[in-house]
Copies of this chain bind each other. A is one copy, B any other.
Amino acid sequence: MAFTFQINNDIKFNHDEKLLAKAAANEPKLKHTTVKATDLVDIVADEQAFNGYKAVANNQDIKQLPTYALKKGGKLVLDFGDHQVGRFSIDIDSVGSPMDAPLYLHLTFAETPAEIGVDASGYDGWLSSSWITEEYIHLDVLPTKLSLPRRYAFRYVEIEVKDTSPKWQASFSNPQVVTESAVSMTDVPLVNIDDPELKRIDEVSIKTLHDCMQSVFEDGPKRDHRLWLGDLRLQALANYATFNDDQLVKRCLYLFGGMTTTEGKISANVFTTPKVTPDDTFMYDYSLFFISVLSDFYKQSQNNEVLNDLYPIAKKQIELALKAVGNDDLLVMDEDWPVFVDWSTKIDKATAGQAILIYVLKQFIGLVQQKEPDQVARYQALVDRYSAAAVSQLFDADQGLFVSGPNREVNIASQVWMVLAHVLDDAENEQLMTKAVAKLFPVTGIATPYMYHHIAAALFEANHQADAIKLIKSYWGKMIDLGADTFFEAFEPENLSFSPYGSPVINSYCHAWSCTPTYLIRKYLVK
C-alpha cells in the first residue's frame, strides 16, 4: 500500500492496553547478518533497461576499493549483490596532504539502477520527496567509520564526493550492511519446483517477504515501514507457506485489534514508532480483512487465546460493514469509507466490494462456529441473500460476466473477487474466468501486484491453472527479466516506466503485497 490520502485527524481511538501488551510481548528480536559489497559497477543509461538504466561491470575490483581515491566530483557505485535491508557503514580515510577541509559526501541508496541514474533533485511528485533515500554528510575528521543511523533498503550505494580540497582525496574501505529481518532465509522449507522460472519466482517472492518482515509485516522497507491490514492478509498467507512465523502475525493482529476508533472501526494501517498509533485512514475492505487475517491465523494455529481476544473486534467489523448494505442487499459505496480493491480509480469497485463482503462473511462464519455456533445461521442467511443479490442484479447473463456500477462496467476486479468469494459454483466459476480471460486479457490498466495476485488466485480457484501460471510468469517473471531482486510495489507490464508517483526514484522495489507467488506456487502447484 501507501497510495492513499485521507485526513481524519479528529477521530478518537480506543487503546486496549491488554491487547497492546500482547502485541508488544510478541515483538520479534530482529536477526542480523553482515553483508559486504560484492562489486563495483557503473550505472549507465540504456533505453532497453528497466526505467532506462542498468548496472554494468567496470574495470574496478572491489578488493582494490581503498586505492580508488576520489577527489571532488568523483563517484563510485557499490553493488551488494542482492537486495538488502539494514544499516550501512563504510570506513573513510584521506590520502595526500593533511585534510584541510571537511569531506562532503552524497550517498544514494538504490534498489534498482534507475534510482541512481535518474536525477532525484528533479522529483516533483505528490508523495513526499523526503522518501528519496539519499544523504548529504559532512565529515570533519578522517579516518572515520561512517555508520549511518537510518535503515535503508538497497542493492546499490552511490558514493559521490561533493568536495574535499585540492590537497587530498577520499579513500573508502570495508563497505557493509548489517541486515535486519524478523526471519532467516534458511527457515524456509525446501520444496521441489521443476519449472526453473517458477522456482526463481518463488525465490524472489521469499526474499521480498523476508525483507518486509521486520518488527511488523512492513509495507515495503524502502519507504513507509507501516503495517497495512490488506497487505498483512497476503503476507501472512505467504508467511505460512514459507517462514511460518506465527508470532509476527499474532503481534500484528493484536496491534490492529488493540486500537479501534471509539465506533469500533479498524484503521487501514498502524504506525509502530515512536509509539503504536493507528493511522487516520479507513478503507472498507481493509477493515474487513481483519477477519480474513484472524480466520487464516486460526486455521493455521488453532490458537484459541487469540481467537477469544479478537473475536469481538472481528464481529464489530462485520457489524459496521453490514450497515453499508442497502435494502437491495447490495453494498452502497461511501467515499468516506472507500473500497480499495486496487489503486486504479478508473474501475468501478461496487461489485468487487460486494464480493469481498461475501468472501469475508464466509470466513467470519468459520469463527462464529467456534465462538457463537447458534449465530451461524444468521450470518449464513446474509451470505445467501448477498450472493443472490449479486447474481440477480450484478451478473449479466448475456455476457456471462459480472457488471459493476450504474454504467454496468465489466472489469477484471469484479470477476476475480466473485470467483474468490465463490458466489457461483465451481463450474460456473470456471466458465466465468474463461469469459474473463477471453474478454479482459491481457490485463491492462492494473499496476498493483496486489490485484494481479487476486487475478492469479482466481484463475487457480477456477481451474485455470495454465492461465494462472502464464499470468504469474508474464507479470512476476517479467519483473525478474528486468533485473528484479525483489518484487515491486507497482508494475504495469504494458507500461514499464509506470510510477504512481511520477518518478522511479520514489517507487518501492521490494513491496510486501507482491510476495504472493510463493504462496500460490506452494498452495496450487507443489505436491
Is the CB–CB distance between A166 and B130 below 8 Å? no
Is the CB–CB distance between A138 and B162 below 8 Å? no
Is the CB–CB distance between B102 and A131 below 8 Å? yes
Q: Which of A197-205, A274-282, A370-378 contacts B (4 or more CB under 8 A)?
A: A274-282
In angstroms, Cα B131 to Cα A43, docked, is: 29
Is the CB–CB distance between B165 and A128 below 8 Å? yes
Please indicate the chain B residues that have their CB under 8 angstroms from the CB of A274 in the complex. Answer: 141-144
Q: Which of B7, B102, B143, B150 contacts A138 (CB 8 A)?
A: B150
Does A343 belong to the interface (CB within 8 Å)? no
- Of all chain B residues, the one with the shortest Cβ separation from A100 is B224
Does A58 belong to the interface (CB within 8 Å)? no
Does A140 belong to the interface (CB within 8 Å)? yes
CB A128 to nearest CB in B, in angstroms, measures 4
CB A279 to nearest CB in B, in angstroms, measures 5
Does A524 belong to the interface (CB within 8 Å)? no
Q: Which of A91-99, A173-181, A292-300 contacts B (4 or more CB under 8 A)?
A: A91-99
Known: A5-B166, A280-B97. Is A130-B143 also a contact (CB below 8 A)?
A: no
In angstroms, Cα B127 to Cα A517, docked, is: 55
Please indicate the chain B residues that have their CB under 8 angstroms from the CB of A278 in the complex. Answer: 98
Is the CB–CB distance between A7 and B101 below 8 Å? no
Known: A142-B274, A150-B140. Is A164-B102 also a contact (CB below 8 A)?
A: no
Q: Would you give the 0/1 interface string for A207-230, flagging 1 where the beta carbon is closer than 8 Å to chain B?
A: 000000000000000011010000
CB A141 to nearest CB in B, in angstroms, measures 5
Q: Would you give the 0/1 interface string for A129-151, flagging 1 where the beta carbon is closer than 8 Å to chain B?
A: 11100011010111110000010
Please indicate the chain B residues that have their CB under 8 angstroms from the CB of A165 in the complex. Answer: 127-128, 130
Is the CB–CB distance between A279 and B97 below 8 Å? yes
Q: Which of B99, B226, B280 contacts A271 (CB 8 A)?
A: B99
- Of all chain B residues, the one with the shortest Cβ separation from A94 is B274
Is the CB–CB distance between A128 and B101 below 8 Å? yes
Is the CB–CB distance between B130 and A164 below 8 Å? yes
Please indicate the chain B residues that have their CB under 8 angstroms from the CB of A130 in the complex. Answer: 101-104, 138, 162-165
Is the CB–CB distance between B131 and A9 below 8 Å? no
Is the CB–CB distance between A129 and B224 below 8 Å? no
In angstroms, Cα B162 to Cα A457, docked, is: 42
Please indicate the chain B residues that have their CB under 8 angstroms from the CB of A150 in the complex. Answer: 138, 140
In angstroms, Cα B98 to Cα A7, docked, is: 10
Is the CB–CB distance between B131 and A101 below 8 Å? yes
In angstroms, Cα B97 to Cα A280, docked, is: 7
Is the CB–CB distance between A98 and B277 below 8 Å? yes
Please indicate the chain B residues that have their CB under 8 angstroms from the CB of A8 in the complex. Answer: 97
Does A31 belong to the interface (CB within 8 Å)? no
Is the CB–CB distance between B163 and A98 below 8 Å? no
Does A273 belong to the interface (CB within 8 Å)? yes
CB A2 to nearest CB in B, in angstroms, measures 8
Is the CB–CB distance between A9 and B166 below 8 Å? no
In angstroms, Cα B309 to Cα A153, docked, is: 57
Does A523 belong to the interface (CB within 8 Å)? no
Please indicate the chain B residues that have their CB under 8 angstroms from the CB of A29 in the complex. Answer: none
Does A63 belong to the interface (CB within 8 Å)? no
Q: Would you give the 0/1 interface string for A86-129, flagging 1 where the beta carbon is closer than 8 Å to chain B?
A: 00000000001111111110000000000000000000000111
Does A167 belong to the interface (CB within 8 Å)? yes
Q: Using CB atoms and an 8 Å cutoff, list the residues of chain A in contact with chain B.
A: 5, 7-9, 72, 96-104, 127-131, 135-136, 138, 140-144, 150, 162-167, 223-224, 226, 271, 273-274, 277-280
* 11 CB < 8 A contacts A-B: A5-B166, A5-B167, A8-B97, A9-B96, A98-B280, A101-B128, A101-B224, A129-B162, A130-B138, A138-B150, A144-B274
Besides A101-B130, A128-B165, A140-B273, 16 new A-B residue pairs in contact (Cβ under 8 A), listed by A number? A5-B166, A7-B97, A9-B167, A72-B128, A97-B279, A98-B279, A100-B271, A101-B127, A102-B128, A104-B129, A104-B130, A128-B163, A135-B136, A138-B150, A141-B273, A142-B274
